[in-house]
Structure 1
Amino acid sequence: MKASEIREKNMVELNKELVDLKSELFKLRFQLATNQLENPMKLKDVKKSIAKVKTIIREKELSGAEK
């Protein structure tokens, strides 16, 4: 997911996206531990997506505080 797509979402959607990504990361880690993970690069992608969402949430919090 691109940062521009994430920035278009509101805070409720961003928080839901964050919860979904964390859930997906948990499932991927479980698959990795049980040797069922087919694509280990998926872990890296999900972690990056979580970081993007958290960054944009923080940007929106700071911009809201300045107003």
Structure 2
Amino acid sequence: MELKELRQKNAKQLSEHLLELRREQFNLRMQKGSGQLSQTHQFGRVRREIAQVKHLLGAMDKGQ
């Protein structure tokens, strides 16, 4: 998801999206451990998106 799209969400929606991303990250980790993961670039995408969501949630807490 693009950063522009993430900025349009409220805090509750961002928290839900963060939970989904964490689940996806967990599933990718399990696939890697069992040798089933073929698209390793997904790790970076999920990690980057988690960081973006956490950054936006932190900015909302500070009132920016």
Measure, in 2, the Cα distance between the counterparts of 1:2 and 1:59.
17
* Residues paired across the two proteins, number: 64
The runs of 5 or more residues in structure 1 that have no matched partner are: none
Structure of larger gyration radius = 1
| Alignment correspondent of 2:22 | 22
| Alignment correspondent of 2:54 | 54
Structure 1 residue runs of 4+, over 3 Å off? Answer: none
TM-score (ref. length: structure 1):
0.91
The one-letter amino acid paired with 1:54 is K
CA drift at 1:48: 0.3
Q: State the identity as a percent.
A: 31
